Structure 1
Amino acid sequence: MSERVQNRSAGQSPGTKAERRLAAQLAAKKAAEARRRRQSILGAGVAVLAVALLVGGIVWKSRGDDVKPASPAASASPTAPAEPTAPPAPQLPADIDPALKTKPTVEAGKGELKKLTVTTLVKGKGPAVKAGQQITTNYVGVFYKDAKEFDSSWNSGQPATFPIGVGQVIPGWDQGLVGVPVGSRVQLDIPAELAYGNDASGGRPAGPLRFVVDVLAAQ
Structure 2
Amino acid sequence: MPATPSQQGVDDVSERTQENRSEGQSPATKAGRRLAAQLAAQKAAEAKRRRQAWAGGLAGVAVVVLLIGGFVWIDSNRDDKSSTASGASPSASAAAPDAPAQDAPTAPPAPQLPEGADPALGSKPTVKAGTGELKKLTVTPMIKGTGPAVKKGQNITTNYVGVFYKDGKEFDSSWNAGQPATFPIGVGQVIPGWDQGLVGVTVGSRVQLDIPGELAYGNDEAQAGGRPTGPLRFVVDVLAAQ
TM-score bucket (shorter structure): 0.5 to 0.7
Per the normalisation by structure 1, the TM-score is: 0.58
The answer for the alignment partner of 1:59 in structure 2 is: none
Q: How far off is 1:214 after superposition? A: 0.2
Structure showing greater relative contact order (alpha-carbon pairs closer than 8 Å, 6 or more residues apart): 1
Unaligned ranges ≥5, structure 1: 1-89
* Per-residue deviation, 1:91: 7.5
The one-letter code matched in structure 2 to 1:139 is Y
For 1:123, the equivalent position in structure 2 comes to 144
1:203 is aligned, of 226, 229, 242, to: 226
SS at match of 2:158: strand
Partner of 1:169 in structure 2? Answer: 190
Query: How many Å separate the matches in 2 of 1:195 and 1:93?
Result: 28
Alignment correspondent of 1:14: none
CA distance in 2, matches of 1:94, 1:196: 34
Which secondary structure state, in structure 2, belongs to the residue aligned with residue 94 of structure 1? coil
Shift of 1:177: 0.1
CA contact (8 A) 1:107 1:147 kept: yes
Summarize the alignment of residues 72-87 of structure 1 with structure 2, pairs less than 5 Å apart.
Answer: none
Preserved contact between residue 113 and residue 121 of structure 2 (Cα < 8 Å): no
Q: Which residue of 2 aligns with 1:215?
A: 238
Partner of 1:11: none
Percentage identity across aligned positions?
A: 85
Cα contact 1:91–1:217 (8 A) shared by 2? no
Letter matched to residue 186 of structure 1:
V
Tell me, yes or no, if the aligned pair for 2:140 and 2:208 is still in contact at 8 Å.
yes
Whichever residue aligns with residue 116 of structure 2, its letter is D
Q: Deviations over 1:60-95 (max 9, x none)?
A: xxxxxxxxxxxxxxxxxxxxxxxxxxxxxx974211
CA contact (8 A) 2:208 2:236 kept: yes
Deviates most, 114-123 or 196-205: 196-205
| Stretches (4+) displaced over 3 A | none
Q: Once the two structures are superposed, what CA deviation does each residue of 1:77-134 show, in whole Å capped at 9, x if it has no partner?
A: xxxxxxxxxxxxx974211111100000001000000000000000000000000000
Unaligned runs of 5+ in 2: 1-110
Q: Which one has a bigger Cα radius of gyration?
A: 2
Q: Distance in 2 between matches of 1:139 and 1:128?
A: 18
Spell out, residue by residue over 1:19-52, the C-alpha distance to the aligned partner (whole angstroms, 9 max, x if none): xxxxxxxxxxxxxxxxxxxxxxxxxxxxxxxxxx
More helix by share: 2
